């Protein structure tokens, strides 16, 4: 699939506001502040405030998960070591191997919406029973914090795993061992001090919501689309107004998802500058959505029969590598 725009695409020459370049540390600080506030609310039994703060924390945790995605592209921090540390830390807390996510995510970009796109299993297989696909969608949209690790570990552990590099596999196993050590220690400390109530309110409940938010966002981005180009297989949202600005900031501009697939090396503050790449170039493409509600509704009407990719229409889609060999990428 062609994942690079032509040189004719217009680029907004205005530099992003400086605050967007420090969005992640701001989100991390807000997350810490929100969790402290949540602990205070739980301590004083002000549960109506605690419920509100759970949703605030879950949204910020969702932003951290997008930061994890940025780290896999090496774009979260300029310092590579800090980028890796942040990625491994977020991955450990979200039950995900950083190196495994990075390896599988590279295939998502290289083979977007084809039968080799591991992230969109099982929706990319036309031979997959509809009941299995619906069951997978229900599981992922309601238990995303567990289904997402399952999806990636399935990619890693199966006999014909596409993750073949022994160096990568060794690092994945080290990260798995790290999680296997870290979580018993964390839970032991929580149990020793009888902090289970705080763990439930401050981590488990918002992490469950954040995992589901991530699944919904992933589905909005791709599920239900059977196009043969990046724009035809990706929903992007280019919205205006304060709400859109807030969501784009806290979601690290992920709603410009098609731009990310066009140019995966762009850091998130630069994605809006390339929004012109989202305009239709062929008949099957649609303009980007102008509201988040419209994009979500377009997903909902396709959920009863979840599928992804032009292979559902019997169309063969060239990969980035194939296009590069042809000299068209």
pLDDT digits (tens, 9 = 90+) for 249-277: 999 999 999 999 999 999 999 999 999 99
Task: Domain of residue 227: give its range.
Answer: 18-326
Q: Tell me: pLDDT of 4 over 50.
A: no
Instruction: Summarize pLDDT for 128-146 with one digit per residue, the tens.
Output: 999 999 999 999 999 999 9
Asked whether residue 11 is assigned to any structural domain, the reply reads no
Asked whether residue 113 is assigned to any structural domain, the reply reads yes
Q: Tell me: pLDDT of 329 over 50.
A: no
Residues 6+ positions from 22 with CB-CB distance below 8 Å: none
Assign residue 289 a region (left: φ > 0; alpha: ψ between -120 and 50; beta: otherwise): beta
Query: pLDDT at position 20, please?
Result: 82
The answer to whether 248 and 238 have CB atoms below 8 angstroms apart is no
Asked whether residue 12 is assigned to any structural domain, the reply reads no
DSSP secondary structure of 67-132: HHHHHHTT-S-SSHHHHHHHHHHHHHHTT--HHHHHHHHHHHHHTTTSTT-GGGTTTT-TTS-HHH
pTM of the model: 0.91
Q: Tell me: pLDDT of 325 over 60.
A: no
Asked whether residue 297 is assigned to any structural domain, the reply reads yes
Asked whether residue 8 is assigned to any structural domain, the reply reads no
| Cα 10 from chain centre | 26
Query: pLDDT at position 318, please?
Result: 62
Asked whether residue 7 is assigned to any structural domain, the reply reads no
Q: Distance between CA atoms of 61 and 210, rounded to whole angstroms?
A: 6
Asked whether residue 6 is assigned to any structural domain, the reply reads no
Please give the tally of structural domains in the chain. 1
Instruction: Give 208's Cβ-side CA count (13 Å radius).
Output: 10
Asked whether residue 1 is assigned to any structural domain, the reply reads no
Q: Distance between CA atoms of 56 and 210, rounded to whole angstroms?
A: 10
The answer to whether 225 and 303 have CB atoms below 8 angstroms apart is no
């Amino acid at each position: 699939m062609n994942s690079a725009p032509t040189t004719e695409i217009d680029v907004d020459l205005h530099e992003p506001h400086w605050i967007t370049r420090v969005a992640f540390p701001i989100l991390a600080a807000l997350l810490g502040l929100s969790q402290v506030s949540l602990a205070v609310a739980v301590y004083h039994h002000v549960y109506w405030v605690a419920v509100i703060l759970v949703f605030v924390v879950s949204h910020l945790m969702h932003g951290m998960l997008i930061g994890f995605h940025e780290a896999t592209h090496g774009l979260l921090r300029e310092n590579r070591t800090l980028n890796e540390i942040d990625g491994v830390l977020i991955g450990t807390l979200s039950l995900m191997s950083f190196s495994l996510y990075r390896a599988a995510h590279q295939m998502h970009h290289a083979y977007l919406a084809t039968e080799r796109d591991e992230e969109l299993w099982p929706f990319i297989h036309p031979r997959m029973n509809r009941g299995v696909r619906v069951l997978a969608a229900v599981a992922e949209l309601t238990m995303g914090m567990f289904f997402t690790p399952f999806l990636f570990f399935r990619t890693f552990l199966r006999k014909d795993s596409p993750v073949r590099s022994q160096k990568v596999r060794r690092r994945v196993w080290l990260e798995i061992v790290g999680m296997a050590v870290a979580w018993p220690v964390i839970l032991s400390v929580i149990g020793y001090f009888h902090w289970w109530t705080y763990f439930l309110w401050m981590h488990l409940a918002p992490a469950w919501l954040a995992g589901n938010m991530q699944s919904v966002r992933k589905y909005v981005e791709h599920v239900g689309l059977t196009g043969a180009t990046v724009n035809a297989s990706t929903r992007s949202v280019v919205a205006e107004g304060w709400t859109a600005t807030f969501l784009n900031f806290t979601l690290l501009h992920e709603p410009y998802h098609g731009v990310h697939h066009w140019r995966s090396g762009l850091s998130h503050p630069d994605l809006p500058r390339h929004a012109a790449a989202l305009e239709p170039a062929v008949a099957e493409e649609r303009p980007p959505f102008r509201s988040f509600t419209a994009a979500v509704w377009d997903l909902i009407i396709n959920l009863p029969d979840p599928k992804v990719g032009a292979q559902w229409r019997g169309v063969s889609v060239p990969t980035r590598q194939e296009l590069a060999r042809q000299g068209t990428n």
